[in-house]
Structure 1
Amino acid sequence: MEYIKSFVPATERGLLPAYLIFVSVVAMGNTFQSFSTLAYTNRIYNGLFVPNPRLPSTSMQSLTPASSKDAEKAKGQVTPLAGRLFGVYTFMAGLIRFYAAYEIENPRLYQLAIWTHIIAAAHFTSEALIYGGINSSTIFGGPPAFPFLAAYGGLFWMLSQYSNYVAA
């Protein structure tokens, strides 16, 4: 048990470093699954879309959220490329959080870790409320709940504990 404890960052001031390690490990696991299957990414990005015939396929609005009458021909937006891109971003965010957990007093690393949460929160929120890539009805009870909780929970926790870990 002592051997395992030697890898856990110091938690005398609170559990934030342990949380950062946890979300880092989850992110790294998510990275590996993003390169091997789209199943889990499709559970988060669960919005369905249909082509907009009035726009060229290169337009950012070439797909529109599907209505109930279009459900049979609707498709998700997650592609192998999108899955790999999400995996690379997730790995980068996890790596920053991992380093921040062990150097929690370093203001630059702490702030970078805060930014990973801001970017994640902005991304998931915009996919749910603007772009429709996440079905907003599943945010609080479906697979997208964990990314939202991790993004916003981690952000508020890190902001509220800044002065506890980073000397002025």
Structure 2
Amino acid sequence: MSLSSVLPEGPGLLPYWLLTVALTGIGNSIQSYSTLHYTQRIYNGQSSDTGKPASETSSVTPLSARTFGTWSFVSSLVRFYCAYDITNKPLYDLAMWTCVTGMIHFGLEWSVFKSGRIGVPLLSPVVVAGATFAWMFTQRETYLG
């Protein structure tokens, strides 16, 4: 079995990107169930003002981490299936909505609820979701006709 036999067959690079983002999200889901460390870095993680570790400044609980992990897993599944069936309009739209949902969630956590601080842990998922949404939006006609 070659690597190409398990990769998406759609045209262009977007299916490969969606697969990469999906697999990364599944990995993130697994870590959300196994440790609080990385999720705590996103939600009020280490403050440069106090120098306190994320475990002392975060409101992340084991339950909220698992809930976040479940949400990430479902979003990853949608992106995974879209990577392999990128011409399916409802699936394409759902994958785009996972990006919008992520951007809104992290944006609200930062701006309204004040549970996220600007930094790499928070900005990484926002940038990935934003770039993925923009890419999917601009390539919509290419994949959906």
Note if contact 1:47-1:132 (Cα within 8 Å) is conserved in structure 2.
Answer: no
Identity %: 39
The aligned runs of 1:15-164 (5 Å cut-off) are 15-46=13-44, 75-136=57-118, 138=119, 142-164=120-142
Structure index of larger Rg: 1
Q: 1:18, 1:155 → 2: CA distance?
A: 15
Query: What TM-score, normalized by structure 1, do the two folds share?
Result: 0.77
- Describe the superposition over 1:97-130 as per-residue Cα deviations: whole angstroms up to 9, x where unpaired: 0000111000000000000000001001111111
**1:60 — aligned with what?**
none
CA positional deviation for 1:11: 4.6
Equivalent residue pairs, number: 140
In structure 2, give the amino acid aligned to 1:8: L
Q: Deviations over 1:12-43 (max 9, x none)?
A: 3x211001000100011011110010001111
Point out where structure 1 has 5 or more consecutive residues left out of the alignment.
49-65
TM-score under structure 2 length normalisation: 0.89
- Distance, in Å, in 1 between the alignment partners of 2:74 and 2:10 is 24
**Matched position secondary structure for 2:112:** helix
Give the Cα–Cα distance (whole angstroms) in 2 for the partners of residues 133 and 16 of structure 1.
32
Superposed structure 1 runs of 4+ greater than 2 Å apart: none
Aligned to 1:10: 9
1:46 CA displacement: 2.3
